[in-house]
Structure 1
Amino acid sequence: MNYLGAIISLLFVFIAGRLLLKRFNPHAVLLVSGLLMLIIAQILNYNLPELKDSTGFSGFDLFRYIKESFSKTNAGVGLMIMAIGGFVAYIDKIGASDTLVYVAMKPLSFFKKKPYIAASLVIPIGQLLFTAIPSAAGLGLLLMASMFPILVNLGVSRLSAVSVITATTAFGIGPASAITARATSIAEIDTVLFFLNYQIPLVLPLSFIMMITYYFVNRYYDKKNGVDKEVHEIEKKEFKAPLIYAVIPILPIILLIVFSKIFNLFSVPISLDTTTAMFISLFIALICEFIRTKNIKEVFNSLQTFWNGMGNIFKTVVTLIITADIFAKGLISLGFIDGLLDLSQNIGFGAVGIGVVMTVMIFLASMLMGSGNASFFAFGPLVPKIAKQLGVESTQMLLPMQLSASMGRTVSPVAGVIIATAEIAKVSTLEIVKRNLIPLAIALLVMLLYHFV
């Protein structure tokens, strides 16, 4: 195999990383780097990602990738993130966020003296929610609306709070997960069986390890940075909203769990996605505001806050996800993934060695591209053939690979969940990655030892 493209792509990764560390505009760095890689791939006659509708001229097709990325993102995860961003802005305006914090702080006052324990407990709770709400960015932003203000008021820093919230998406498991669906399809095994017999026994000890490591890592960084507390004295605020408003921030989560395909609580199946749940919750909030204020004009005018929130998320978060997508396309077009695949098959290791190498490479690929799905979907289909040659079950190799894909995403500065939560928390994506790197690296090492040794 010609490794020239893979080497060039690694060079671009290094340059882009340096520029980001020097605080160059990330949108520009990712977009320009991605386009340059696509141009070089064209010159070298590499296979570029397929376009749905080519312009007919290869030079213009480079910019068609941007257009199609906008279309794909805005129609899917982009709209979802914008809807959540608008909802977060609206519940803050009407006082629902403060009300939730006020109500939650009463039973959680015990953790005032142990705030980092409370932060660590978010990880297993969020992981449980992640099985029902399998969108990393979606769940991350929902927890930013509900758990983030509570954690900050308990006494942890904003960075500590957002780090444990992103950590809840570190393991893409459960029947509703796209990575799980792909893994079970490749292994030809029942999804629920894979979830119960393979994923849960491995993820439980890993979640416990992460709780411990996040406790010490966050406490260390907060002490090092001189952050003792960033507590907002919610108790001293004069509430304009009734206490029942505390339900509004968590209403989308309740809706998504109640109508989840996992539970099938209704005889007639009801499918509810995150974006729809956000709009339902918004209109319930509007009705509550009308009942409280009795002023229809004021309620209608308040809706502008929602649209403004959506717009703010679009110009900061969604556009960055789109430029990151172009960057990932550039890496793929230069043979970055193919190079890793070829290397993994020619190292000469046995089943354990190849399993470890492919697991680590998927982790790194997800970290670079910001997408667990992209890396696993590229590597996964090769497993049955490799497993057959080595005389092992496909599940033995697929399980750690699919977990490392979502783990790598959690330490990627260009991942949607990192970008979106960082914007809401007003913190740096690189600072979140710094908090996440040690716990996730330890979890990856423990997973490899636990599963393969």
Structure 2
Amino acid sequence: MSAIAFVLSLIVIAIAAVYLYRKLNPQGVLLLAGLAMLILALLLHIQPVVPAKPTGSVVFDLIKVVEETFITNFSRAGMMIMVIGGYVAFMNHIEATNALVHISMKPLGFFRRYPYLAATIAIPIGQMLFITTPSAAGLGLLLVASVYPVLINLGVSKLTALSVIAAATLFDQGPGSANTALAAELVGNTNVEYFIIHQLPLVIPTTLVVMTLFYLNNRYFDIKDKKRQKNVSTTQPELETLKYNVPLIFAILPVLPLILLIIFSPYVGLFDPPITLGTTGSMIFSLFVSLVFVICRMRSIRKTIDTLSSFWKGMGNVFASIITLIVASEIFSKGLISLGFIDLLVSYSTHMGLSGIAIAVVFALIIFSAAMLMGSGNAAFFSFGPLLPGVAGQLSLPVYSLVLPLQLAASMGRAASPIAGIIVAIALVAGVSPIELAKRNTLPLIGSIIFLIVYYFFIS
């Protein structure tokens, strides 16, 4: 039965891949593929997904799973992503983004000659911010509002700018990460101990390799696209032609949410007792501050209120394009898990007769691929994670020697997935195909995961 389930999973994945390649609506393809696998799991009595509140009917239970997935995503990250999307649209509407670009270009004028160096430097800066804002999609959209327009005006393509923003979220690290929390629990450390003792020594050298590979990859493909006169993106106007009809003080507004998150971060420790401010709260507060700026400039309540329409439209666009795709992707992931696809991959790997380190390497590659397929580093690692202490015991390896590389491999695989929340969110807000962005990231990520495996298991 397990072999049949594995084959059926592969067939559904292949069919979904074909339809996605033919550019059918990705939400519909992933939702139907996920439901198909849930139904197959139910018919084969493998791991049927049961809603938190069963309806008493098998058919309606499946509908309830979709409903609960919508609710959980909306309450967990959906609202935050929509608010960020609305704020990005509002910043563009009031031309605060243009003011930010104008201000930023003066001190960054040096990088006009070396735009790919500037783009590459954004990776470690974004990674540090990711520790304080442990939401890949949330941070990605914040960087699209602040860093992205600056990089575009320095001369890189849209795909390059989005590529390095995605690379800033490669490693789910820091005490606030859900994956870190699970990994620390499995290893028997606190979140902070795990971050300092295990994560940092591996993340730092891997980040240097990531920066090098993304620099070479982005530069190569941008030059190649220009030579073929088939640019996958268009750059924004040069600084001299960029219009900004607002006071330059407006430049602070796109980066205000980031500033607030850093100031009120528990890791900065500026306040005693600490003040807690989440991403959604920082965006809403920044919106009200922006309205004060707008009303002082326009001197009209009516016109100020009218500008809010761009915020609501931005939220609606994000829901229609991003939230629905994240929900469909999660249903697809649930289908894979319900058919036992991930468990079977683990089982087949452990019966190949390989050495402990070889199996650990295979697991790292499998979880990297699973994250690409499922579009979620959390889903991939949470599927594998609980199995690792037992597997490590069977292989006579320390638990952390399996947990650490697999935890990082899961978040790396997410950045190469066209259905990952971070990729979908930043690509669609910037008007780029998520598939093109995932393709741009794939080569440097493959090189990075190979380095991580070789460095961790054979060098360090």
If the TM-score is normalised by the length of the shorter chain, which range does it land in? over 0.9
Pair 1:360–1:151, CA change in 2 (3 A):
same
Give TM-score scaled by structure 2 length: 0.96
- In the TM superposition, residue 237 of structure 1 has moved relative to its aligned partner by 4.0
Superposition map of 1:423-442 within 5 A: 423-442=428-447
Task: Report the equivalent of 2:262.
Answer: 257
Q: Which amino acid aligns with 1:59?
A: V
Task: Report the equivalent of 2:179.
Answer: 179
Task: Report the equivalent of 1:293.
Answer: 298
2:376 counterpart (348, 352, 371): 371
Task: Report the equivalent of 1:96.
Answer: 96
**What SS does the corresponding residue of 1:411 show, helix, strand or coil?**
coil
- In the TM superposition, residue 391 of structure 1 has moved relative to its aligned partner by 2.7
Superposition map of 1:351-370 within 5 A: 351-370=356-375
Q: Is the 8 A contact 1:83 1:310 kept in 2?
A: yes
Superposition map of 1:26-37 within 5 A: 26-37=26-37
- In the TM superposition, residue 386 of structure 1 has moved relative to its aligned partner by 2.3
Give TM-score scaled by structure 1 length: 0.97
| Distance in 2 of aligned mates of 1:189 and 1:115 | 41
Q: Does structure 1 residue 221 correspond to structure 2 residue 226? A: no
Consecutive unaligned residues of structure 1, counting only runs of 5 or more, are: none
Task: Report the equivalent of 2:452.
Answer: 447
- In the TM superposition, residue 398 of structure 1 has moved relative to its aligned partner by 0.9
Superposition map of 1:241-320 within 5 A: 241-320=246-325
Q: Is the 8 A contact 2:55 2:61 kept in 1?
A: yes
Question: After alignment, is 349-358 or 118-127 more displaced?
Answer: 349-358
**What SS does the corresponding residue of 1:107 show, helix, strand or coil?**
coil
Question: After alignment, is 443-452 or 335-344 more displaced?
Answer: 335-344
| Distance in 1 of aligned mates of 2:214 and 2:168 | 12
Runs ≥4 residues deviating over 6 A: none
| Distance in 2 of aligned mates of 1:76 and 1:286 | 27
| Distance in 1 of aligned mates of 2:190 and 2:68 | 34
1:282-309 deviation line (CA, Å, top 9, x unaligned): 1110111112222111111111111110
Task: Report the equivalent of 1:69.
Answer: 69
1:310-359 deviation line (CA, Å, top 9, x unaligned): 00111111111111111111111111111112123222223211211111
- In the TM superposition, residue 118 of structure 1 has moved relative to its aligned partner by 0.9
Q: How many correspondences in the alignment?
A: 453
Q: Which amino acid aligns with 1:209?
A: V
Q: Which amino acid aligns with 1:405?
A: A
Pair 1:229–1:8, CA change in 2 (3 A):
closer
| Distance in 2 of aligned mates of 1:239 and 1:429 | 30
**What SS does the corresponding residue of 2:49 show, helix, strand or coil?**
coil
Superposition map of 1:328-407 within 5 A: 328-407=333-412
Q: Does structure 1 residue 159 correspond to structure 2 residue 162? A: no
Pair 1:238–1:123, CA change in 2 (3 A):
closer
Q: Is the 8 A contact 1:155 1:229 kept in 2?
A: no
1:70-92 deviation line (CA, Å, top 9, x unaligned): 11111121111100000000011
Task: Report the equivalent of 1:321.
Answer: 326
**What SS does the corresponding residue of 1:3 show, helix, strand or coil?**
helix
- In the TM superposition, residue 238 of structure 1 has moved relative to its aligned partner by 4.4
| Distance in 2 of aligned mates of 1:7 and 1:442 | 29
- In the TM superposition, residue 46 of structure 1 has moved relative to its aligned partner by 1.9
Q: Is the 8 A contact 1:175 1:262 kept in 2?
A: no
| Distance in 2 of aligned mates of 1:156 and 1:212 | 16
| Distance in 1 of aligned mates of 2:24 and 2:256 | 38
Consecutive unaligned residues of structure 2, counting only runs of 5 or more, are: none
Q: Is the 8 A contact 1:9 1:37 kept in 2?
A: yes
| Distance in 2 of aligned mates of 1:147 and 1:225 | 23
Q: Is the 8 A contact 2:427 2:434 kept in 1?
A: yes
1:33-52 deviation line (CA, Å, top 9, x unaligned): 11111111111112222311
- In the TM superposition, residue 169 of structure 1 has moved relative to its aligned partner by 0.6
- In the TM superposition, residue 216 of structure 1 has moved relative to its aligned partner by 1.4
Q: Is the 8 A contact 2:38 2:49 kept in 1?
A: no
Q: Is the 8 A contact 1:366 1:412 kept in 2?
A: yes
Q: Which amino acid aligns with 2:347?
A: D
**What SS does the corresponding residue of 1:124 show, helix, strand or coil?**
helix
Task: Report the equivalent of 1:41.
Answer: 41
| Distance in 1 of aligned mates of 2:268 and 2:390 | 35
Identity rate, percent: 46
| Distance in 2 of aligned mates of 1:435 and 1:283 | 37
